[in-house]
């Protein structure tokens, strides 16, 4: 995206995770870099009311997420409804969704101000939790929505339909409905396929299925997926790794393509996705030391 008037980046929001002093200090360095080049910036946390009001009012040309993938997801959730592009700078451990690192942002950001970047439009999902004819809650999804067992270590019974027709019944720890972006997140950890981020498909994948269908299913963008749980012990729903929500037997989770698209700023050529994936799979930085 270019600026509203003449194609330049005039005002950015720099977002850090609440409580991270080290990342906040790096944010101050980035803020000073922009100030020296005539760009106004707001450095704040993802829960700041000034940020939320500014995004709603269309005050910003760009949202910069400092941290790891969790911060990038939070920034994406804030920016997507307004069509605001997001740039990730990795100051965390994993950062697969991030474009820049602590070491190379000063070298690359001049390309941002010169307009030498692309926007990668990533599909999102909408997940609705229904009880009978009552809509309990609705969520926007960048990575995945997971319907899974709770604290009791025992599989749950899950039934999935597509466009009103039965897809499969599962006895499993859970069922994932993922975007192509999310295919390299939880879905990859349980053996799912890797999907290029520019695709617009819905991935359905069971978690630890027991004597039931164990294959991933890739559906078209227009599909409507309904997930129902019938279990005598706790079941939950979680969206993009957020706190799980308890669901009752026969509650329905309806998953469809979202009307929103999350826009990621990209500087690298199209092959960057596979190079990054290869590097992370060879040496996962999130493992750390024991």
Q: Is 202 helix (H, G, I), strand (E, B) or coil?
A: strand
Q: Give the relative orientation of helices 105-113 and 21-35 as an angle to the nearest 10 degrees.
A: 40
Could you tell me the two tokens for 271?
Answer: 């092959």
Out of 69, 173, 240, 251, which one is annotated catalytic? 69
In the residue annotation, 6 being an active-site residue is answered as no
Phi first, then psi: give them for residue 109, nearest 5 degrees: -60, -30
| Close Cβ partners of 3 (under 8 Å, ≥ 6 residues apart) | 9, 10, 61
Residue entry with tokens 């409580």: 19
CA–CA gap between residue 111 and residue 257 (Å, rounded): 33
Pair 203, 167: CB distance under 8 Å: no
Q: Is 80:260 a contact under the CB 8 Å cutoff?
A: yes
| Cα–Cα distance for residue pair 198/120, rounded to 1 Å | 7
User: What are the φ and ψ backbone dihedral angles of 113, each rounded to 5 degrees?
Assistant: -70, -20
DSSP type of residue 152:
S
User: What does each C-alpha distance from 84 to 1, 3, 121, 224, 240 come to in angstroms?
Assistant: 8, 11, 11, 27, 19
Active site residues: 69
């Amino acid at each position: 995206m270019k600026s509203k008037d003449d194609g330049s980046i005039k005002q950015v929001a720099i977002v850090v995770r609440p409580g991270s002093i080290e990342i906040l200090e790096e944010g101050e360095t980035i803020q000073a870099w922009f100030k020296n080049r005539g760009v106004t910036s707001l450095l704040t946390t993802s829960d700041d009311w000034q940020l939320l009001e500014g995004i709603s009012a269309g005050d910003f040309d760009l949202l910069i997420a400092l941290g790891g993938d969790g911060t990038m997801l939070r920034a994406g959730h804030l920016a997507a409804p307004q069509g605001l592009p997001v740039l990730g700078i990795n100051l965390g451990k994993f950062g697969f969704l991030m474009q820049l690192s602590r070491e190379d942002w000063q070298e690359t950001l001049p390309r941002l101000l010169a307009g030498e970047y692309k926007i990668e439009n990533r599909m999102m999902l909408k997940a609705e939790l229904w009880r009978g004819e009552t809509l309990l809650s609705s969520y926007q999804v960048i990575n995945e929505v997971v319907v899974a067992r709770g604290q009791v270590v025992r599989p749950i019974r899950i039934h999935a339909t597509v466009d009103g027709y039965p897809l499969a019944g599962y006895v499993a720890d859970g069922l994932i409905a993922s975007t192509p972006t999310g295919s390299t997140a939880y879905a990859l950890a349980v053996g799912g396929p890797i999907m290029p981020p520019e695709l617009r498909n819905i991935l359905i994948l069971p978690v630890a299925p027991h004597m039931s269908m164990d294959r991933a299913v890739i559906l078209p963008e227009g599909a409507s997926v309904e997930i129902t749980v019938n279990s005598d012990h706790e079941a939950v729903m979680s969206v993009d790794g957020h706190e799980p929500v308890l669901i009752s037997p026969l509650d329905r989770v309806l998953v469809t393509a979202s009307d929103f698209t999350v826009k990621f700023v990209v500087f690298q050529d199209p092959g960057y996705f596979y190079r990054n994936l290869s590097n992370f799979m060879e040496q996962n930085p999130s493992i750390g030391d024991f």
